[in-house]
Amino acid sequence: MRISLTYRFLSLAIALLIPMSAVVRAQGDPHPAETAKANALTKSGNQKVRDGDVDGAIADYNQVIEIDKIFPENVQSGSYVNRGLAYQKKGDLDAALADFDKAIKLQSSNFYAYQNRAGLHEKRNEIAEAIADYSKVIKLNAKFPFAYRGRGLLLLKQGKDAEAESDFAKYLSFNPSGKEALDKQIQEVKAKRDTKPE
């Protein structure tokens, strides 16, 4: 039996999806009506985020989180990431952090949750926490390029150029088309770093 719940995750920062566990897929969908409703609400929430209706998206994700209580924790985890991203877009960084933390508690291997929490820590100027989360992403999925880029830029800001260059090389090995954008980001970081008063 095919499950339509396979992809229900929106990432504003990196537009990636979290797949449902292979175990549930192998067993089939024991809750097809709930799956269909959760998928429709997720799709609606994702569209509302794109349209700028963040409060409407959060309301949709709240319903999905209620429905998801019957599903495995990895599915629940993805829904908290969705809502956390919507809270982040709204500017409620504390609520976003709480949702990313909950997503990680439900599924400690959810590297998307760590990736998005790292970005949130960056916004809050919590650099050590951001670097730790990017490092966790890399430990969980060594082929995920965006964690290398994020960590590398933070290391560059700290003047750790050799470590940053190593991360940039890894990033580009997985995402060569990102070179132009990365070069621009590197130049911006170095310009800010070089103009800082000592």
Helical axes 54-67 vs 73-90, angle rounded to 10°: 160
User: pLDDT in tens for each of the 198 residues of the chain?
Assistant: 333 333 344 433 433 333 343 334 445 677 888 999 999 999 999 999 999 999 999 999 999 999 999 998 988 999 999 999 999 999 999 999 999 999 999 999 999 999 999 999 999 999 999 999 999 999 999 999 999 999 999 999 999 999 999 999 999 999 999 999 999 999 999 999 888 665
Cβ-contact 38, 68 below 8 angstroms: yes
Verify that 166 and 130 share a domain, yes or no.
Answer: no
Structure tokens at 153: 């830029």
Task: Using DSSP, state whether 19 is helix, strand or coil.
Answer: strand
Q: Name the amino acid, one letter, at 187.
A: Q
How far apart, in Å, are the Cα atoms of 10 and each of 80, 101, 126, 157? 11, 17, 24, 29
Count of domains forming the chain: 2
Q: How many residues does the chain have?
A: 198
The pTM score is 0.84
Q: 198 is in which domain, residue-wise? A: 142-198
Rounded to whole angstroms, the Cα distance separating 35 from 64 reads: 9
Verify that 137 and 197 share a domain, yes or no.
Answer: no
pLDDT at site 27: 54
Verify that 158 and 67 share a domain, yes or no.
Answer: no
Residue that is last in its domain, among 141, 168, 183: 141
Structure tokens at 76: 């629940």
Rounded to whole angstroms, the Cα distance separating 125 from 134 reads: 14
Structure tokens at 166: 């190593």
pLDDT at site 12: 39
CATH number where 128 lies: 1.25.40.10
Verify that 18 and 110 share a domain, yes or no.
Answer: yes
Verify that 129 and 176 share a domain, yes or no.
Answer: no
Rounded to whole angstroms, the Cα distance separating 84 from 102 reads: 10
